[in-house]
Amino acid sequence: MQTVQVELAERSYPIHIGAGLLSDGDFLRDQIRSSQLLIVTNATVAPLYLDRVNNAFSDRQVSVFILPDGEQEKSLPRFGEIIDQLVAERFHRDATAVALGGGVVGDLTGFAAASYQRGIDFAQLPTTLLAQVDSSVGGKTAVNHPAAKNMIGAFHQPSVVIADIDTLATLADRELHAGLAEVIKYGLIMDAEFFHWLEDNVGALLERDPAALQYAIAVSCRDKAAVVAADERERGQRALLNLGHTFGHAIEALSGYGKILHGEAVAIGMALAAETSVATGRLPAEQLAPIRQLIESAGLPLQLPPLPPGDIVERMGLDKKVQQGRLRLVLLDAIGAAQLVDDVSAEQILEVVESYGGG
């Protein structure tokens, strides 16, 4: 097992990464000590892992909330149902909400935990690659609005993240590929050495080699932990973690939540951000091909879905990074170096989207 620490003074917490962690009842009980637990999971994950987590806490008051699977479940009505269950079963302020699943489960559980009695603990037990390397770390919790992704939420850090790489053995290929988009992101924004490691090892990751997966997860979590520790509430540096997301969130919302996976949309968004970086004179043109090649080698799409370019740019205007009416984008200066810019006009973005040659 490897442990990465997120350093946030009194709200610091560990990310434990290793095999068999969800099967180790003593370890789970040591990491999650509340006497009252609400385990939130979904219909896909529950048959695989709920019993082993539930059985670990047979001496505690444990309640379970099972969601249907899908991005569309990350909604205010589902949030309300979780709150209703916490109230009905008389959960106290020292209870812990346990998120057992992917990003939807983690984001929704965290937002409910942030809101119930003005904040209770929550633990992240991520079971997808995307959640293990990104959404479970950093305390961003949210639900979607029909018009825009993650528009309603709160910053609320978990008390612990337990990433069991054994869960990736049951992950659908498409979900594994989607998680690799967020892994590639770290290489692009801040870690050129890791980007080149990914170029050499993407095949091992696709084959689910345990050593390669654990290394990629640990490096991704280390990189994200450093950013979160420096800028917890996204006032500056943390926005770099949104490379490709401004494009991607617009694509997700316009396509209908769940039709295209978050990681797939981010992959297309990163390619578009790289194209924009070249078009605006930031990224050397010769670095575009390796970026596109790695995204494609990870089994991720480069082709835009059939959406009107003007609608994509208009929807990007709802992005949370917009300030004083100005759209801010994360763009690349080089592989391994990114910056947040506000000097790209909607017309320039439209021109890039219209001319984009998705492979």
- Could you tell me the CATH number of the domain that includes residue 143? 3.40.50.1970
Of 1-5, 264-268, 283-287, 343-347, minimum mean pLDDT range: 343-347
Beta bridge partners of 331: 339
pLDDT of residue 149: 87
Which amino acid, one-letter code, is at 51?
D
Beta-strand ranges (E) seen in 156-285 are 160-164
Catalytic pick among 74, 238, 292, 315: 238
* Residue 315 is among the residues annotated as catalytic for this protein: no
Residue range 203-224: average pLDDT?
A: 98
How many Å apart are CA 308 and CA 314, to the nearest integer? Answer: 10
In the set 74, 78, 140, 328, the catalytic residue is 140
Same domain? 215 vs 298? yes
Share of the chain above pLDDT 70, in %: 100
Confidence check: pLDDT of 359 > 80: no
Q: Is 224 annotated as catalytic?
A: yes
User: Residue 63 — very low, low, confident or very high, per pLDDT cuts 50/70/90?
Assistant: very high
Q: Half-sphere exposure (CA, 13 Å, Cβ side) for 39?
A: 27
Instruction: Confirm if 132 and 17 have CB atoms less than 8 A apart.
Output: yes
Residue found under tokens 């984008």 = 329
Is 156 designated active site? no
**Are 6 and 147 within one domain?**
yes
| Residue 326 pLDDT | 82
- Are 254 and 151 in a shared domain? no
Residue 217 structural domain: 173-355
Q: Annotated catalytic residue: which of 73, 234, 264, 275?
A: 234
Which residue in this structure is represented by tokens 């892994």?
183
Whole-structure pTM value: 0.94
Each residue's pLDDT tens digit, 45-59: 999 999 999 999 999
Question: Measured between alpha carbons, how far is 226 from 179 in angstroms, rounded to an integer?
Answer: 20
Residues 197 and 157 in one domain: no
Catalytic residue, candidates 262, 292, 315, 328: 262
Whole-number pLDDT of residue 40: 98
Region 1-13: mean pLDDT is 96
Residues 203 and 244 in one domain: yes
- Distance separating alpha carbons of residues 275 and 324, to the nearest angstrom: 25
The single residue of 10, 90, 118, 235 carrying the catalytic annotation is: 118
Average pLDDT over residues 119-144: 97
Last residue of a domain, one of 118, 144, 169: 169
Tell me, yes or no, whether 99 and 233 share the same domain.
no
pLDDT digits (tens, 9 = 90+) for 338-355: 999 999 999 999 999 999
Over residues 278-289, the mean pLDDT reads 98
49, 250 Cβ separation under 8 angstroms: no
Q: Are residues 56 and 145 in the same domain?
A: yes
Place of tokens 């442990």: 3
Q: Nearest CA to 104 among 49, 77, 67?
A: 67
Band the pLDDT of 235: cuts 50, 70, 90. Answer: confident
* Mean pLDDT to the nearest integer, 320-324: 71
The pLDDT assigned to 251 comes to 96
Q: In angstroms, rounded to a whole number, what is the distance separating the alpha carbons of residues 195 and 189? A: 9
118 an active-site residue? yes
- Domain with residue 210: its CATH number is 1.20.1090.10
Which of the residue ranges 75-84, 155-164, 194-203, 253-262 would you say has the lowest mean pLDDT?
253-262
Nearest residue to 219 via CA among 163, 271, 270: 163
pLDDT of 309 higher than 80: yes
Q: Kindly tell me if the per-residue pLDDT of 33 is higher than 80.
A: yes
Active-site entry in 144, 242, 315, 328 = 242
* Boundary residue ending a domain (151, 169, 187): 169
pLDDT at residue 324 in the model = 65
Mean pLDDT across the chain: 95
* 249 catalytically annotated: yes
Inter-CA distances, 115 with 148, 149, 159, 270, Å: 21, 19, 16, 33
351 given a catalytic annotation: no
> Which residue did the predictor score with more confidence, 319 or 234?
234
238 catalytically annotated? yes
Indicate which residue of 73, 175, 182, 232 is catalytic: 182
Judgement on whether residues 161 and 185 belong to the same structural domain of the protein: no
Q: Are residues 7 and 26 in the same domain?
A: yes
Number of domains in the chain: 2
Instruction: Give the mean pLDDT of 127-148.
Output: 95
pLDDT, average across residues 18-26: 97
